[in-house]
Structure 1
Amino acid sequence: MSVLTGAGISTDSGIPDYRGPQGVWTKNPQAAVNATIDRYLADPDVRRASWQARLTHPAFGAEPNGAHRSLVDLEHAGLRRALITQNIDELHQLAGSAPEKVIELHGTIRRAECVSCDLITPMPEVLARVSAGEDDPPCPRCGGIQKSNTISFGQALKSEVLGAALDAARSCDVFVAVGSSLTVHPAAGLCGEALDAGAQLVIVNAEPTPYDSFADRVINEPIGQALPALVKELIDAAR
């Protein structure tokens, strides 16, 4: 079994989603425009605003919720082959999922990267510089522009990460998509890859998705309750 998670699994931890009725980009479409890599690199004002937003990003104070922990139970039961996530908050690892089994499609906000020399720096070190007055902290090694170690609009996914996700989708017997709108590709296309390989598709999401009609099972209920219940059902059935 392979699992794909999106922003909806972290809303109970206080991290807003992006495309839901109360999503960050639903309420502020300009935020999505500013999330493009071209705008970030070209406009110092966008970078300064981004660094200020990172100082107060809810991920840094968030704790895993019951949905995250249920996927750890699934792993410990030997039923979860891979955990693919669109999220950048690392709450799966904090909940106890083995880091080597978490495929972070969009990277992580907990590290910073230089777009020139690829230096990776722990995000707290860079945010400390922002708090001390550097509004657009350059790379300490080469002086280049830094950003969070995440995939922005206009950036391609890392080939090795996408390859691992495709392999996980194509080699499972059940593919469970949780808390994802399934509108962003290539992540959404993993559902089709799993279906084409003969897997069953299960979707757990508060809102309808484009893949609902292809799924073997759709659960449109609050994820915080629905996913732990589903995991318990799967573990009980495997005993």
Structure 2
Amino acid sequence: MYQQIVVLTGAGISAESGIKTFRDQDGLWEQHHIEDVATPEGYARDIDLVERFYNSRWENLHSGEVKPNPAHVALAKLEAEFPGKLLVITQNVDDLHERSGSKRLLHMHGELSKGRCPQSLQTFVLREPFSEDNCCTCCIPAKRLRPHIVWFGEMPFGMDRIHDALDTCDLFIAIGTSGTVYPAAGFVDSANHHGAQTVEVNLVEADRHSQFQYHLTGKAGDIVPQLVDTILAGETVGNQSFNQQLASALSA
């Protein structure tokens, strides 16, 4: 059985729960310029516009219509039952992993349900949409909270922890994110370099430039539960028994 697993999740896993992605043809950038709503400069220029943009996302996430899908649930099951080390890194800013029970989780691009003090950098759970009334309790006078989101030009969170995990894992899985776009491209290179097996789960066929050793094409909600069950059964990716069990489960 594997000893240490790192999982990276991207927009594709949340799209199956009804959350729009940013790069789709009808994605979230359609009505906005990136530089206006996803940069520190845009925030400094028009706080109200940026807050409206993220409030719309926040309201959608808390509408009751968006729920974890079987892929989120399966990763929580992997955390609960896998006897080795596990780290789930997500590029997504929603809380669907948490709703499924995941705790060994790193939000590298921030969290939609939190605000951050621009001075102390302390974070606060956002129980209502952003407004000038959402202020920190760590400063005098209190500072207006900004979205706890990594914008373009800002450094993703937890990179040291991520690289440490990739350097020592024996299995790296990327779900719903392109293996040829950073950070996933850099992550898979690092995992390959240190001798891990690398697996891509995506709705589209693997890009010919992909560095992943194994590719599973289809919906995350279909593939990930079976992948998790096969791993928990003690099988390793690529061996005949693993392939037979996964193929049998997906065809059932």
What is the TM-score when the length of structure 2 is the normalising length?
A: 0.78
Aligned partners of 1:111 and 1:121 also within 8 Å: yes
Partner of 2:186: 189
Partner of 2:87: 82
Name the CA distance, whole Å, in 2 between partners of 1:107 and 1:218: 28
Aligned partners of 1:139 and 1:145 also within 8 Å: yes
Name the CA distance, whole Å, in 2 between partners of 1:116 and 1:72: 34
Q: 1:221 to 1:189 in 2, by over 3 A?
A: same
Q: 1:23 to 1:170 in 2, by over 3 A?
A: farther
Report the alpha carbon displacement of residue 19 of structure 1 after superposing the two structures with TM.
Answer: 2.2
Of 144-153 and 86-95, deviating more is 144-153
Partner of 1:112: 115
Report the AA paired with residue 17 of structure 1.
Answer: T
Partner of 2:147: 148
Of 39-48 and 186-195, deviating more is 39-48
Report the AA paired with residue 95 of structure 1.
Answer: S
Name the CA distance, whole Å, in 2 between partners of 1:21 and 1:230: 30
**SS where residue 210 of structure 2 aligns?**
helix
Partner of 2:247: none
Aligned partners of 1:109 and 1:150 also within 8 Å: yes
**SS where residue 159 of structure 2 aligns?**
helix
Report the alpha carbon displacement of residue 29 of structure 1 after superposing the two structures with TM.
Answer: 5.9
Residue identity over aligned pairs, in percent, reads 30
Aligned partners of 1:18 and 1:24 also within 8 Å: yes
Q: For residues 28-177 of structure 1, what are the structure 2 equivalents within 5 Å?
A: 28=31, 30-31=33-34, 33-50=36-53, 52-58=55-61, 61=64, 62-75=66-79, 76-78=81-83, 81-97=86-102, 99=103, 101-124=104-127, 126-127=128-129, 135-137=131-133, 139-140=135-136, 141=139, 142-158=141-157, 161-177=158-174
Name the CA distance, whole Å, in 2 between partners of 1:228 and 1:181: 20
Name the CA distance, whole Å, in 2 between partners of 1:200 and 1:33: 40
Name the CA distance, whole Å, in 1 between partners of 2:51 and 2:106: 29
Report the AA paired with residue 168 of structure 2.
Answer: S
Give the greater-gyration-radius structure (CA). 2
Aligned partners of 1:103 and 1:164 also within 8 Å: no
Report the AA paired with residue 195 of structure 1.
Answer: N
Aligned partners of 2:179 and 2:211 also within 8 Å: no
The RMSD of aligned alpha carbons is: 2.7
Report the alpha carbon displacement of residue 82 of structure 1 after superposing the two structures with TM.
Answer: 1.1
Structure 1 residues 106-126: Cα deviation after superposition (integer angstroms, max 9, x where no partner): 1211111121332422211x5
Report the AA paired with residue 167 of structure 2.
Answer: R
Q: 1:79 to 1:230 in 2, by over 3 A?
A: farther
Partner of 1:13: 17
**SS where residue 233 of structure 2 aligns?**
helix
Of 73-82 and 4-13, deviating more is 73-82
Of 42-51 and 86-95, deviating more is 42-51
Name the CA distance, whole Å, in 1 between partners of 2:51 and 2:26: 25
Name the CA distance, whole Å, in 1 between partners of 2:58 and 2:86: 35
Name the CA distance, whole Å, in 1 between partners of 2:150 and 2:95: 14
Report the alpha carbon displacement of residue 190 of structure 1 after superposing the two structures with TM.
Answer: 1.1
Stretches of structure 1 that go unaligned for 5 or more consecutive residues are none
Which of the two has greater helix per residue?
1
Aligned residues: 227
Among candidates 222, 225, 228, match of residue 225 of structure 1: 222
Partner of 1:4: 8
**SS where residue 214 of structure 1 aligns?**
coil
